[in-house]
Amino acid sequence: MKRIERVGAIIKILSENPGKQYSLSYFCDMFQSAKSSISEDIHAAKQILETIDSGMIETTAGAGGGVRFLPCISDTDTAALLDLICEKLRDKSRILGSGFLYTSDIMFDSNIVKCAGEIFAGRFMGLGADYVVTIETKGIPVALMTAHMLNLPLVVIRRESKISEGSTVSINYISGPSERIQKMSLAKRAVTSGSKAIIIDDFMRAGGSIKGIIEMLSEFEIEIVGTGVVIASTEPQKKKISDFFPLIYLGSVDESNKIIEVFPNSLISCKKIL
């Protein structure tokens, strides 16, 4: 293969498997090329990605070293994504009553959740997480994409235990503005005690569900190293959790005049994150 073909193939393989480390020998065997040639190819691939602001390639030396792709969405694309979500959320037909909005089409839009996953991955990269954790809600797609970008397994906490999960741990937690008592369950085989986790969810009002996830994971002695939510309500101001990273803030929902107040998290910057 010509160099330009090898460089293109390297970019494709690395970008389709973010976070996964490949040895130089892997590419040497694939292309039947010397390590010096592959090193030059990787350097060229790295420059291309940096030029078009589409992530970065990290190389590490030593016996256990290699090369991996670290996803990153540009500031321009980040701003465009957040503006798109806000524009969609301002649609007055989304109002369901009691301050709730219809968001299923947004949370199941593959392009939106891919970009959101890249933002969360950039935010929480390098924290040593072993899992990405979410609850059985509309947050599963963005949590799965975040897990993919970080090359981590996804753990889904269920509302009710299932026989297919085997032995489970269940807890009760308080959720929603009505302070309802709900239940969540997690299979004992799903996680390893003493690990670290990132929590990803689609929507947070007071933080009851996420607090429940934290309490559930504490039963397994798992440390929470990051919490990301796509949409966070500004009310109530006092949340049940204090440390979280939202993409979008939802303010007042005026049902009478059909006005929805939403705005992006102005602190988001991929370059600052990485």
pTM for the model stands at: 0.89
Helix-helix angle 24-31:35-51, to 10 degrees:
110
Mean pLDDT confidence for 106-111: 96
Better-scored residue on pLDDT, 201 or 182: 201
Confidence bin at 177 (pLDDT 50/70/90): low
Say how far apart CA 18 and CA 274 lie, in whole Å: 15
Least confident of 46-50, 175-179, 220-224, 228-232: 175-179
Mean pLDDT confidence for 53-62: 88
Mean pLDDT confidence for 121-140: 94
CA 241 → CA 30, 198, 227, distances in Å? 48, 14, 10
Long-range contact pairs involving 26-30 (C-beta distance under 8 Å, separation at least 24): 26/66
Better-scored residue on pLDDT, 7 or 74: 7
Mean pLDDT confidence for 117-136: 95
Mean pLDDT confidence for 113-136: 95
Q: What is the pLDDT of residue 53?
A: 87
Reply yes or no on whether the pLDDT at 19 is more than 70: yes
| Average pLDDT value for the chain | 91
Q: What is the pLDDT of residue 272?
A: 37
* Predicted confidence (pLDDT) per residue in 92-101, tens digit: 999 997 778 9
Mean pLDDT confidence for 264-269: 83
Q: What is the pLDDT of residue 266?
A: 86
Q: What domains appear along the chain, each with residue ranges and CATH number?
A: 3-70 (1.10.10.10), 75-273 (3.40.50.2020)
Say how far apart CA 222 and CA 198 lie, in whole Å: 10
Mean pLDDT confidence for 241-266: 94
Q: Are 95 and 244 in contact (CB under 8 A)?
A: no
Mean pLDDT confidence for 7-26: 95
* Predicted confidence (pLDDT) per residue in 161-173, tens digit: 777 788 888 888 8
Reply yes or no on whether the pLDDT at 274 is more than 50: no
